[in-house]
């Protein structure tokens, strides 16, 4: 493995392996077949590329998409790795050149589409040389149960048999056990080791907001992401076209992508996007399969996706380089009805039912009040143990209780109205009753004679809407997603009859945009911009995509660490010897000039290391916690990372929650309440878990501050560990 590590650093420019990569490489090098299931962006390619460089013979990579292959081959060539591809898109001259490189043994890797295996020249070529490894990318295409079955994949099992000394690897991002079994069976994998990586993508920032003025909300979002690459997903072609027209009229750099366009136009638009000529692709779900652009910085869902699988796949197209990427979903109840309408058109009852179940899970995710990663990751069959990821809107919502008020009375009025009208009406009807509007429908139902008629005049229609959404999120009210009617949940009776208090927000402007704690920028955006422009110039000259030259993550790290020498540049993740040779002096001179002209103070070594780590390999909370255990105080760390102390404490909580111990003395000094109260708080944790502090805060009538409660939570979690 020493050799693998060396290749990782020297060729790829990375300091450490991502989870499972090392184990997978070991297994391949030892010629043990394996099945690798890893989410998009998890780093599957490296798993076979490093062994390919260690084997004497050839590594064949089967991949279904020619466009994807081209980028991969280009990326490897930029790293100085001899790579061949053989397919119909090549000119005769290029084809011959690639062919010769495989024959002579110069090429270490050969990329092929499955249909090429039947071509006689290729099959003869492969029989005449030593093949050490056969890698099947997108291996789920072999399964009829997968979402992307391809007939050409079926012959792979047979193909593989003629290379008895080659190890075979299936790679996929599709997790269902049924598809996994199919891959193993159809590929004839020999007692394969299964490697299943976590589906969590910690660098995606997840956010859901109510869709009110979607166009304006889109513009606001785009303005926060100037000069960045991103995808906007819409439900229909019509929506794609109109959004594209409206945005490009305002000067945004957009292109449409959907099945109604010609192949030629679609390919052109995709190419422009990959090359950073166009910043934003507006697309239906048809977009994204064939791209591995690593610097997609945001995904905006203009409409609600039909299920969590699609949603996860779509947001997964951002942030492959490991840099923070923003995923925003505009959520409305009207979209649910739209999707339901389409589901109802399906002939097959089983299909209808299954589609509804999937939609329900999607809605649950959108409405959740807890960390969004919990419903999301759990949905894929993996237990997500951390209670606060720190990278979703719910985790970062300012727990500023001053805005929240006791809304118990309003809630009771709302619930009574639901009950008195029979729990069969939608929101607008209920609000009309509350406001005392004598509409025809209300008169014909005789509801103007109910005691609740007109009891809610102290709030506006909008405020009632805001309140009702919160009640749905809190699961006090249940919305029937088929009919839109509202019902009471079992929790409602506590509010109606046991006077259980409800806290919420009903200020109109507050709910429009939730306040989120800001995440501090750690790099110099001006320098990043200069580097980005240079990268684009070089890419254009060479006619390759910019991210192939350097990933965004590398540029960001340069704009954080300001490397001054070749040696320092080599320390940047993604800079190996070949890239240093090709581009080192160009980028170094930009950085040096920038440092000189802007009087940038270079940081000490110690600090540089601390910053570069969380950005690329180790999650921030672990780095922080280790540093804390090493003696740094909470206050020092807050200053160092330019965040609030509370954030540092949350990092510590997450660290302990993952089963680690931390130093307790620095926490105890922050606890003011007496021992007996502490014990009571711990009892509450015992009983209700540590996910939410709010119930405890309320239980103690706001006597113990959130800050202190969160410290107690860390102490509690720490005590749980043996």
Binding segment (CB under 6 A) for ligand ADP, from list 14-22, 223-231, 267-275, 329-337 = 14-22
Taking the least distance from each CB to ligand ADP, the nearer of 608 and 632 is 608
Question: Least distance (Å) from Zn ion to the CB of residue 372?
Answer: 5
Nearest to 361 by CA among 399, 313, 311: 311
Cβ neighbours, 10 Å, residue 466: 22
Of 389, 549, 653, 715, the residue at the interface with Zn ion (CB under 5 A) is: 389
Among Zn ion, ligand ADP, none, residue 395 binds (CB under 5-8 Å by kind): Zn ion
Among ligand ADP, Zn ion, none, residue 163 binds (CB under 5-8 Å by kind): none
Integer Cα distance of 383 and 539 in angstroms: 42
Do 662 and 628 contact (CB within 8 A), yes or no?
yes
Question: Least distance (Å) from Zn ion to the CB of residue 373?
Answer: 5
Of 4, 38, 139, 168, the residue at the interface with ligand ADP (CB under 6 A) is: 38
Taking the least distance from each CB to ligand ADP, the nearer of 320 and 479 is 320
Enumerate residues 6+ apart whose C-beta is below 8 A from 244. 254, 255, 256, 282
Residue appearing with tokens 């540089």? 608
Question: Least distance (Å) from ligand ADP to the CB of residue 108?
Answer: 17
Question: Least distance (Å) from ligand ADP to the CB of residue 45?
Answer: 3
Site for ligand ADP in 43-82 (CB under 6 A): 43-46
Among Zn ion, ligand ADP, none, residue 276 binds (CB under 5-8 Å by kind): none
208 binds Zn ion (CB under 5 A): no
Among Zn ion, ligand ADP, none, residue 371 binds (CB under 5-8 Å by kind): Zn ion
392 binds Zn ion (CB under 5 A): yes
Question: Least distance (Å) from ligand ADP to the CB of residue 612?
Answer: 12
Site for ligand ADP in 524-553 (CB under 6 A): 551
Residue appearing with tokens 């109205």? 417
Among ligand ADP, Zn ion, none, residue 25 binds (CB under 5-8 Å by kind): none
> Is the four-CA dihedral 493, 497, 499, 503 of positive or negative sign?
positive
Instruction: Supply the DSSP symbol for 42.
Output: S
Nearest to 603 by CA among 554, 568, 645, 643: 568
Question: Least distance (Å) from ligand ADP to the CB of residue 389?
Answer: 20
Q: Which residues pair with 206 in a beta bridge?
A: 327, 392
Of 282, 371, 575, 667, the residue at the interface with Zn ion (CB under 5 A) is: 371
Taking the least distance from each CB to ligand ADP, the nearer of 46 and 709 is 46
Backbone angle region of 157, left / alpha / beta, with phi > 0 → left and psi within -120 to 50 → alpha: alpha
Token pair, residue 353, equals 């039912």
376 binds Zn ion (CB under 5 A): no
Nearest to 198 by CA among 389, 390, 7: 389
Binding segment (CB under 5 A) for Zn ion, from list 370-378, 502-510, 549-557, 630-638 = 370-378
Of 304, 395, 434, 539, the residue at the interface with Zn ion (CB under 5 A) is: 395
Binding segment (CB under 6 A) for ligand ADP, from list 35-43, 187-195, 259-267, 689-697 = 35-43
Site for ligand ADP in 311-340 (CB under 6 A): 320-321
Integer Cα distance of 655 and 386 in angstroms: 9
What is the biggest distance separating any 2 CA atoms in the chain, rounded to whole angstroms?
91
Q: Taking CB under 6 A as the rule, which mask of x and - marks residues 654-693 in contact with ligand ADP? A: ----------------------------------------
Q: How many residues bind Zn ion (CB under 5 A)?
A: 4
Among Zn ion, ligand ADP, none, residue 389 binds (CB under 5-8 Å by kind): Zn ion
Checking DSSP bridges between strand 405-406 and strand 229-233, what pairing results, if any?
unpaired
Taking the least distance from each CB to ligand ADP, the nearer of 71 and 387 is 71
Token pair, residue 637, equals 């760390």
Site for ligand ADP in 555-594 (CB under 6 A): 573
Checking DSSP bridges between strand 503-504 and strand 405-406, what pairing results, if any?
antiparallel
Of 7, 24, 34, 42, the residue at the interface with ligand ADP (CB under 6 A) is: 42
Checking DSSP bridges between strand 405-406 and strand 325-331, what pairing results, if any?
unpaired
Backbone φ and ψ for 233, nearest 5 degrees, come out as -100, 135
Among ligand ADP, Zn ion, none, residue 44 binds (CB under 5-8 Å by kind): ligand ADP
Backbone φ and ψ for 110, nearest 5 degrees, come out as -130, 120
Taking the least distance from each CB to Zn ion, the nearer of 554 and 690 is 690
> Is the four-CA dihedral 499, 505, 508, 511 of positive or negative sign?
negative
Using the CB atoms, write b or e for 101-140: b if 16+ within 10 Å.
Answer: bbeeeebbbbbbbbebbeeeebeebbeeeebbbbbbbbbb
Residues in the chain: 722
Give the residue ranges of DSSP H helices in 563-644. 566-570, 577-598, 605-616, 620-629, 634-641
Binding segment (CB under 5 A) for Zn ion, from list 274-282, 394-402, 529-537, 561-569 = 394-402
Backbone angle region of 455, left / alpha / beta, with phi > 0 → left and psi within -120 to 50 → alpha: alpha
Taking the least distance from each CB to ligand ADP, the nearer of 288 and 504 is 288
Integer Cα distance of 355 and 346 in angstroms: 10
Among Zn ion, ligand ADP, none, residue 551 binds (CB under 5-8 Å by kind): ligand ADP
Q: Where are the beta strands (DSSP E) in 480-559?
A: 486-488, 503-504
Q: How many residues bind ligand ADP (CB under 6 A)?
A: 18
Question: Least distance (Å) from ligand ADP to the CB of residue 663?
Answer: 30
Nearest to 26 by CA among 1, 3, 5: 1
Of 7, 11, 14, 716, the residue at the interface with ligand ADP (CB under 6 A) is: 14
Write out the residues near ligand ADP by the rule CB under 6 A: 14, 17-18, 21, 38, 40-46, 292, 294, 320-321, 551, 573
Write out the residues near Zn ion by the rule CB under 5 A: 371, 389, 392, 395
């Amino acid at each position: 493995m020493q050799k693998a590590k060396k290749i990782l650093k020297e060729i790829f420019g990375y300091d450490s392996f991502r989870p499972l990569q090392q184990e997978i490489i070991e297994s391949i090098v030892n010629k043990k077949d394996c099945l690798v299931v890893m989410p998009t962006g998890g780093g599957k390619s490296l798993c076979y590329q490093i062994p390919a460089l260690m084997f004497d013979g050839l590594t064949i990579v089967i991949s279904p998409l020619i466009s994807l292959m081209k980028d991969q081959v280009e990326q490897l060539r930029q790293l100085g790795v001899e790579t061949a591809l053989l397919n119909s898109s090549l000119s005769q001259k290029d084809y011959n050149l690639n062919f010769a490189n495989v024959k002579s043994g110069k090429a270490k890797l050969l990329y092929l589409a499955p249909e090429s295996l039947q071509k006689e020249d290729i099959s003869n070529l492969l029989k005449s040389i030593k093949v050490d490894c056969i890698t099947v990318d997108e291996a789920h295409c072999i399964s009829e149960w997968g979402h992307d079955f391809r007939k050409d994949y079926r012959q792979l099992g047979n193909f593989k048999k003629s290379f008895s000394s080659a190890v075979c690897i299936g790679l996929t991002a599709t997790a269902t056990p049924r598809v996994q079994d199919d891959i193993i069976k159809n590929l004839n994998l020999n007692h394969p080791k299964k490697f299943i990586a976590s589906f969590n993508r910690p660098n995606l920032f997840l956010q859901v907001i109510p869709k009110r003025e979607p166009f304006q909300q889109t513009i606001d979002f785009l303005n926060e992401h100037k000069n960045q690459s991103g995808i906007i997903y819409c439900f229909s072609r019509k929506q794609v076209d109109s959004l594209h027209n409206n945005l490009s009229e305002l000067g945004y750099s957009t292109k449409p992508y959907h099945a109604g366009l010609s192949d030629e136009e679609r390919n052109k638009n995709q190419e422009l996007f990959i090359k950073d000529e166009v910043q934003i692709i507006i697309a239906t779900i048809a977009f994204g399969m064939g791209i591995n652009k690593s610097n997609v910085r945001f995904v905006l869902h203009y409409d609600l996706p039909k299920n969590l699988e699609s949603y996860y796949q779509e947001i997964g197209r951002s942030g492959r380089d490991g840099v923070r990427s923003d995923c925003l979903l505009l959520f409305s109840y009207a979209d649910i009805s739209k999707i339901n309408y389409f589901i109802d058109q399906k002939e097959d009852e089983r299909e209808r039912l299954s589609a509804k179940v999937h939609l329900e899970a999607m809605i649950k995710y959108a409405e959740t009040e807890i960390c969004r990663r919990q419903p999301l990751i759990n949905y894929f069959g993996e237990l997500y143990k951390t209670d606060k990821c720190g990278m979703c809107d719910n985790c970062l919502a300012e727990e500023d209780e001053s805005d929240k008020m006791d809304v118990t009375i309003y809630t009771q009025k709302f619930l009574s109205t639901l009950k008195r009208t029979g729990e069969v009406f939608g929101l607008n009807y209920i609000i009309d009753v509350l406001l005392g509007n004598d509409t025809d429908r209300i008169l014909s139902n005789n509801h103007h004679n109910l005691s609740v008629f007109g009891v809610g005049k102290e709030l506006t229609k909008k405020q009632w809407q805001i309140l009702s959404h919160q009640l749905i999120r809190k699961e006090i009210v249940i919305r029937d997603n088929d009919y839109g009617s509202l019902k009471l949940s079992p929790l409602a009776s506590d509010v109606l009859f046991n006077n259980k208090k409800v806290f919420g927000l009903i200020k109109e402007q507050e709910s429009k945009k939730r306040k989120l704690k800001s995440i501090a920028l750690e790099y110099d955006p001006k320098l990043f911009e200069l580097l980005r422009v240079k990268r684009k110039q070089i890419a254009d000259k060479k006619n390759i995509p910019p991210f192939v030259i350097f990933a965004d993550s590398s540029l960001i790290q340069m704009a954080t660490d300001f490397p001054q020498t070749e040696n320092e540049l080599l320390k940047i993740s993604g800079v190996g010897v070949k890239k240093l040779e090709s581009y080192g002096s160009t980028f170094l001179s930009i950085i040096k000039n920038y440092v000189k002209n802007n009087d940038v103070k270079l940081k000490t070594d110690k600090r540089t290391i601390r910053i570069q780590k969380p950005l690329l390999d180790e999650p921030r909370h672990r780095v922080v916690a280790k540093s804390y255990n090493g003696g740094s105080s909470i206050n020092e760390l807050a200053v160092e990372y330019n965040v609030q102390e509370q954030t540092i404490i949350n990092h510590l909580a997450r660290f302990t929650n993952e089963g680690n111990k931390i130093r307790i003395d620095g926490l105890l000094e922050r606890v003011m309440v007496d021992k007996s109260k502490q014990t009571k708080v711990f009892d509450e944790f015992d009983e209700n878990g540590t996910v939410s502090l709010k119930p405890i805060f309320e239980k103690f009538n706001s006597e113990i501050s959130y800050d202190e409660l969160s410290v107690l939570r860390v102490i509690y979690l720490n005590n749980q560990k043996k």
